[in-house]
Amino acid sequence: MNYFIAPANGELRQWVSHFWWARLDGCEKANPVYYATAHTRTELAFTYRYFSEKNIQLTGASVQGLTDQFGQFPMSGFNEVFGVSLHQHAIPGFFKLGPSELNNKFTSLKMLLGRDGEDLFGKMAAATDVQERTAVLSRHLSTRFHKEPKSDALVVAAIARIKALNGAIDIARLATEMHLSPKQFTRRFHAYTGLNPKHYAQISRFEQVLARFQKHQSFSESTYEGGYYDQSHFIADFRRFSGFSPRRFFALTRE
C-alpha cells in the first residue's frame, strides 16, 4: 500500500490533523483485506475504484471515530482511499456531537450528515484528483464548522501535550501541570475523550511508532524514538492495538 499525507491549511489546521491518500496494491488478488489499527483521531474516508486517470468511481464514504480496537475489513470494490483525520475536539463543531460519541463507531457519511452528506458525496465523486478532493473537502469542512459549544480547554491542552511528546509522558506529572490531582484529571479526561489518559497516551505512542517505521523501516529506531526501551513492552502494545506482532503486521500489510 502506498500512503501519502498532506497538512491542512489556514484555520483548518486547528481542527484537522492532515489529509491522506492511499493506493491499495494487490486488490486484484482474491479476498484482499485492510488491517485497521487503534487510533486517536476521527477519520472521514472516501473509497474509490480506480480504472484509469479518466475513470475513477467513488464507491463509498464513511466516518470512523477514535478507537482502541483493531479490525480487518474486506477491500473488494475499491483500490484507492482518500480521507481526512480530525482532532477529537473538532467533533462537536463539525458533527454537533459530543467529542466521544463517535468512539469505536463506523458510520456511513450519508447516515451521519443526511443531506449534507449526500451533497458532499456528489462533490467528492466529481473531483478528478487528490488536489481537487482536498479543496472540496476543505471548503465543506470550513463551511460546516460551528463554534464548539462544549470544549474543555484543559483536556484539549492535555491532548496537545500528549501528542507533542508522542505519548511518552508521565500522566501523574501531566495532571500536576494541569493543576489537578491524578484522580480529578483522569475523571475529566475520560468524560471528554471516552478514554483514560494513560490509555490515550499508549495509543498515541503506538501511532507514532507506526509513522516512524514508515520513515525508518527499522524496528529498533522506531521503537527507541517512540519511547519504548523494553522490546517485550513494545510488542505487547503492538499486539494490543493491531492484533499482530510487528513483523507479522507489516508482512500482511505489504502483501
| Per-residue pLDDT tens digits for 213-248 | 766 566 666 676 677 777 888 889 999 999 999 889
Ranking 33-37, 116-120, 213-217 by mean pLDDT, the lowest is 213-217
Q: Any bridge partners for residue 21, and if so which?
A: 4, 82
pLDDT for residue 78: 87
Enumerate the domain spans of the chain.
2-144, 153-253
CATH architecture of 153-253: Orthogonal Bundle (1.10)
- Average pLDDT of the chain? 88
Spatial separation of the C-alpha atoms in residues 83 and 91, rounded to whole Å: 15
Mean pLDDT of 5-25: 88
Q: What type of residue sits at position 168? A: A
List the one residue out of 89, 69, 66 whose CA is nearest residue 194: 66
Mean pLDDT of 34-58: 91
